[in-house]
Chains A and B, each alone.
Chain A
Amino acid sequence: LSRIGDELYLEPTESGLSLRTVNSSRSAFASFLFAPLFFQRYETGGPQPDGELLRCKVLMKSFLSVFRSLPSLEKTVWKCLILLKPRASRLVVQLHCKYGVTKTHNLAFQECERLQAIFDTQRCASSLCAPARVLAEAVVHFPQTLAEVTLGAGPGGKISLRNYVEDEAGEPGGAGGPPPRPWGAGNGPLTHLLPPPEPSKTMVTELWLAEDEFQTVAVTPGSRITFCLKEFRGLLTFAEASNLPLTIHYDVPGRPVVFTLDDTVLEVHLVLATLLDPERSSQPPTANGASHLPAPSDDFADDLESYMIAMETSAYEEGSGAPPSPTFPLRTPRPAESDPEEEEEEEEEEEGAVPGTPPHKKFRSLFFGSVLTPGGPGPAPTQEVLAEDSDGEY
């Protein structure tokens, strides 16, 4: 949870204790629900005057510092007591250790509204389930610093993971789409003085997983979504440690992706916003099977002719004149008209989207919409949703 947000929300409910967090741009939400059975003793206490159980939030760092050293905790602590003292405004975490030592930590808490992301796994068109180990092994091929990754359903039932590269023009690219540099035909007389082109574009890594590596696969062919890898890695580490299979529910680009872990006493949800794909937006929304995914390369069938280099070797023969650097063809950026259209539509839908939260690139806080969203999916209407960036209040 600390990989995602800075504040830990504790919400005791009848069905257990829920620990939740959200990130600052509201594009990632996670909740861990521990059933009462998980605890030796679980008492929710009486409801507050407003009929709700007391909720609070504490600083993630403060809470974590109590449990700082896991190995030593395991050796010395035999009981941990967490209780909420509303009148003293303190969350008390008491560690009962060996040799009669008791460590009591009093953390200041703030009362808060219920933090709930709107998502409905039932409405997701595609889902995948795999042992955490498979996904962890897949993710290891991507650099630690990678921000976004694209998950896609490819031909032959294969699932692909690809690092997402953004052009300077803001278009999704792969090893294509050169940054708009001034070369190509019609260049100035000084072109020949330019140094050979620097391969400054990013390396693209793509991994293909066979269908049978997954426990269940129910995906729309040709579908793909792009989400932030950093937050996902956090969940993956937890899943691997607890040896639970991970389920991924997703829909169309722009709608959040939901990762879930299920256990008898624990239910985990991680909801991440996905990138709105301007390429796709020019397509009718019900595109079926229109795959933008490049097919997995045929190299492995040892096909010699597949990738003949079509270099303009004639360019090398030019002695005089200003030979442009022949390697990167100019690529006109896609017309962006489709973009604002799609965004308008989205805005109508999510009218309650958190205002004033700068969208992180094209990620939107799509799942913190108002409960009044027409046709919005949703849990019970009694919940209140954060309508404003609470940071401004404190």
Chain B
Amino acid sequence: MRFRAKIVDLACLNHFSRVINTIAKLAKTCTLRLTVSKLYFILSDKVANGGVSMWCELCQGNFFDEFQMEGVAAEHNEIYLELVPENLSRALKTAQSAKAVKIKLTNKHCPCLRVAVELPSLSSSSRIVTHDIPVGVIPRRLWNDFREPSVPDFDVSIYLPVLKTMKCVVERMKNLSNSIVIEANLSGEMNLKIETDLVSVTTHFKDLGNPPWVSEDECQSSAQDRDLESMAEARIDIKKLQQLLAGQQVNPTKALCNIVSKRIVHFILLHEDVSLQYFIPALA
């Protein structure tokens, strides 16, 4: 099992750091899946996470100048690692002016992801900082736990409002209530509602637009037969929503959510070279 990669371009490094920072805000521990062409940051929906799950996919070619990977075996050419993304985020934090950053999977005393940052210095040789991030290697028999989640059979799919605005609203609401109701319909309207004993607050968004989903089978057509005005809603933990919104450092190219009434909300945030899916289950 081998992995080594190198980033030389500063813009790529900054971009990669931002992705890692976002992941770090969403999960304390997550799984990194490496394949020949992609990296995935996966959080599976265990009870410990409060039922949220995350699937983030990056094309390695967009970030790394060099990328070499050899999986556990020829027919399973992948590596699954468990790591604390905050560590990776910290390692990259002070690398913003680096000449090069190399990442390597090593096993000196225990498996580690070694991040080596080459920094410019006034002396003849560069300054080198290495960060050994301890990782856990996930054995093949557990790989099934980390399969890509399928798009749920949603009732409504709608584009999200400007994330910054949504974040501000949710942050203020967080002070008043622990749960928030997201409801939306197929006419491009979305409401964020909180209700407590003393007060209820609703923020209305309209003209958001509904993304067109290609329905391949019968079940999706039920969504199309749906009354355009009727709202699908789900009550979710407001902190989880706030975490998701606060973690976004760059405005995504496309941001949408799929609501399965009273069951789950599926967020999809797409950037040029990164896609992030986040599932927040509805509260009982």
- Give 1 or 0 for each of B82-124: 1 = CB within 8 Å of chain A CB: 1110010011001000000010111111111010101001111
Rounded to whole Å, the gap between the CB of A75 and the closest CB of chain B is 35
CB–CB A213/B112 < 8 A: no
Chain B CB count within 10 A is highest, among A137, A196, A201, A203, for: A203
A274-328 with Cβ < 8 A to chain B: 294, 296-297, 299-300, 304, 307-311, 313, 315-316, 323, 326-328
Nearest CB of B to A225, in Å: 20
A200 to B131, CA, bound (A): 15
A297, B108: Cα distance in complex, Å: 11
Of B91, B102, B127, B130, the residue contacting A209 (CB under 8 A) is B127
- Interface pair A210/B141, CB less than 8 Å apart: no
Bound form: Cα–Cα A208–B128 in Å: 5
Instruction: Tell me whether A210 and B116 are in contact (CB under 8 A).
Output: no
> What does the 1/0 interface line of A18-43 toward B look like (CB < 8 Å)?
00000000000000000000000000
A313→B72 contact, CB < 8 A: yes
Complex alpha-carbon distance, A185 and B92, angstroms: 37
Which of A208, A311, A323, A327 is packed against the most chain B CB atoms within 10 Å? A327
Contacting residues, chain B, for A208 (C-beta < 8 A) = 127-130
Please give the distance in Å from A133's CB to the nearest CB on chain B: 10
CB distance from A179 to the nearest CB of B (A): 11
Q: Which residue of A lies closest to B28 (CB)?
A: A198
Q: Is the CB of B130 within 8 A of A210?
A: no
Which residues of the other chain, B, contact A210 by a CB distance below 8 angstroms? 121, 123-125, 127
Q: Does B142 contact A (CB under 8 A)?
A: yes
B26 within 8 A of A: no
Instruction: Report the bound CA distance from A207 to B129 in whole Å.
Output: 4
| A254 within 8 Å of B (CB atoms) | no
Cβ-neighbour of A203 out of B87, B124, B141 (below 8 A): B87
- Which of A8-16, A170-178, A362-370 lies on the face that meets chain B? A170-178
Whether A309 contacts B123 in the complex (CB less than 8 A), given A204-B131, A327-B136, comes out as no
- For chain B, the bracket of interface size reads 35 or more
Are A327 and B110 also in contact (CB < 8 A) when A209-B127, A299-B102 are?
yes
Whether the Cβ atoms of A299 and B114 lie closer than 8 Å is: yes
> Hey, which chain B residues are within 8 Å of A141, CB to CB?
94, 129
Q: Are B110 and A307 in contact (CB under 8 A)?
A: no
Smallest beta-carbon distance B102→chain A, Å:
6
A196–B136 contact, CB under 8 A? yes
B107 near A307 with CB under 8 A, answer: yes
Flag if A296 contacts B139 (CB, 8 Å): no
**Residues from chain B with Cβ under 8 Å of A294 in the complex:** 108
Q: In whole angstroms, what is the CA distance A111 to B259 when docked?
A: 73
Q: Select which of A206, A299, A309, A323 is within 8 A of B129 by beta carbon.
A: A206
B57 within 8 A of A: no
In the bound complex, how far is the Cα of B123 from the Cα of A327, in angstroms? 40
**Which residues of the other chain, B, contact A202 by a CB distance below 8 angstroms?**
134
Chain A residues, CB < 8 A from B104:
299, 307
Is A143 in contact with chain B by the CB < 8 A criterion? yes
B82 touches A199 (CB 8 A): yes
Given the complex, which residues of A lie within 8 Å of B72, measured CB to CB? 311, 313, 316
Q: What is the distance, in angstroms, from B32's C-beta to the closest C-beta of chain A?
A: 11
Interface size class on chain A is 35 or more
In this complex, what residue of B is CB-closest to A140?
Answer: B94
- Contact partners of B134 in chain A: CB under 8 A: 175, 199-203
Q: Do A311 and B128 touch (CB < 8 A)?
A: no
Give the CA-CA distance A141 to B87 in the complex, in Å: 12
0/1 per residue, B134-157, Cβ < 8 Å to A? 111111111000000000000000
Which of chain B's residues has its CB closest to A305's CB? B2
User: CB within 8 A of A212: which of B109, B124, B141?
Assistant: B124
- Tell me if A205 counts as interface (CB < 8 A to partner B): yes
Other-chain contact of B138, A196, A206, A297, A329 (Cβ < 8 Å): A196
Smallest Cβ-Cβ distance to B129: which chain A residue: A207
State whether A175 touches B127 (Cβ < 8 A).
no
Chain B residues with CB below 8 A from A100, complex form: none
Given that A140-B94, A175-B109, A307-B106 are known contacts, is A323 also in contact with B139, CB under 8 Å in the complex?
A: yes
The reply to whether B110 and A300 contact each other, CB–CB distance below 8 Å, is no
Q: Do A198 and B129 form a contact, CB below 8 Å, given A176-B110, A307-B106, A327-B136? A: no
Q: Which residues of A contact B84 (CB under 8 A)?
A: 199
Considering the chains assembled together, what is the distance between the CA atoms of A212 and B122 in angstroms? 9
B133 within 8 A of A: yes
Q: Contact at B132–A174, with CB atoms within 8 Å?
A: yes
A197 within 8 A of B: yes
Q: Is the CB of A176 within 8 A of B109?
A: yes
By the criterion CB–CB under 8 Å, are B107 and A310 in contact? yes
B139 pairs with A326, CB closer than 8 A: yes
Q: A203 to B87, alpha carbons, bound, how many Å?
A: 7
* Residues of the A chain whose Cβ atoms lie less than 8 Å from the Cβ of B139: 196, 315-316, 323, 326
| Cα-based distance from A77 to B144 in the complex (angstroms) | 71
Question: Is B199 close to A, CB under 8 A?
Answer: no
Rounded to whole angstroms, the CA-CA distance of A141 and B129 in the bound complex is 8
Q: A198-B136, A309-B111 are in contact. Are A297 and B82 (CB under 8 A)?
A: no
Q: Which residues of chain A come closer than 8 Å to B106, judged between CB atoms?
A: 307, 309
A198-B132 in contact given A300-B116, A311-B107, A313-B73 (Cβ < 8 Å): no
Given contacts A196-B138, A199-B29, A143 and B124 within 8 Å (CB-CB): no
Give chain A residues whose Cβ lies under 8 Å from the Cβ of B94.
Answer: 140-141
In the complex the two chains form, is A313's CB within 8 Å of B1's CB? yes
| Cross-chain contact B109 with A316 (CB below 8 angstroms) | no
B122 pairs with A205, CB closer than 8 A: no
Q: Please, how many angstroms separate the alpha-carbon atoms of A207 and B95 in the complex?
A: 12
* 7 A-B pairs with the lowest CB-CB distances in the bound complex, closest first: A176-B109, A175-B132, A307-B106, A204-B132, A212-B123, A199-B134, A201-B134
Please name 10 further chain A to chain B contacts, defined as beta carbons within 8 Å, in addition to the given A178-B110, A206-B129, A309-B1, sorted by A numbering: A175-B110, A197-B82, A203-B91, A203-B132, A205-B129, A207-B130, A208-B129, A213-B123, A300-B128, A316-B141
5 contacting pairs across A/B (C-beta < 8 A): A205-B91, A208-B129, A212-B123, A309-B107, A311-B137
Chain B residues in the interface with A (C-beta under 8 A): 1-2, 4, 29, 72-73, 82-84, 87, 90-91, 94, 102, 104-112, 114, 116, 118, 121-125, 127-142
